[in-house]
């Protein structure tokens, strides 16, 4: 899988929007952008994925740059429960389906 770069940590105030960036300058045309998160002492949890267009679901939104070399996970209103490590993962359109986790971004939410 192609490499991603994320900030080590970010902070947000409760009830405010959070924008978590991810750089993936070597992304290929068939790579999907996936986001997972891991709450403290839990297993990873799927958040959202996309290929080219922006995506919304009940948990978050994913904004993908036009050149696809970066993306941003948007939590519209952070809650204390959103405090977690967020992983941006590229998954090839064919071949290996394992998830390759990096170090992710540790999001702290301040009450």
Site for other proteins, rule CB under 8 A = 32, 34, 38, 42-46, 49, 87, 91-94, 96-103
* CB nearer to other proteins: pick between 13 and 100: 100
Pairing state between β 9-13 and 32-38: unpaired
* CB nearer to other proteins: pick between 12 and 36: 36
What's the rounded Cα separation, in Å, for the pair 12 and 15?
9
What's the rounded Cα separation, in Å, for the pair 14 and 27?
33
* CB nearer to other proteins: pick between 57 and 108: 57
* CB nearer to other proteins: pick between 12 and 35: 35
User: CB 94 → other proteins: shortest distance, Å?
Assistant: 8
User: CB 22 → other proteins: shortest distance, Å?
Assistant: 16
Q: How many CB atoms lie within 10 A of CB 88?
A: 26
Q: How many CB atoms lie within 10 A of CB 66?
A: 7
User: CB 15 → other proteins: shortest distance, Å?
Assistant: 25
User: CB 11 → other proteins: shortest distance, Å?
Assistant: 20
Partner residues linked to 85 by β-bridges: 38, 106
What's the rounded Cα separation, in Å, for the pair 14 and 12?
6
């Amino acid at each position: 899988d192609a490499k991603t770069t994320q900030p080590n940590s970010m902070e947000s105030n409760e009830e405010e929007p959070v924008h978590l960036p991810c750089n993936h300058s070597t992304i290929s045309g068939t790579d999907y952008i996936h986001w997972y998160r891991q709450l403290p002492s839990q297993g990873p949890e799927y958040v959202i994925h996309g290929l080219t267009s922006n995506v919304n679901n009940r948990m978050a939104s994913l904004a993908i740059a036009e050149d696809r070399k970066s993306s941003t996970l948007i939590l519209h209103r952070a809650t204390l429960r959103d405090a977690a490590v967020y992983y941006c993962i590229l998954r090839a359109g064919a071949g290996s389906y394992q998830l390759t986790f990096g170090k992710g971004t540790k999001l702290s939410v301040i009450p």
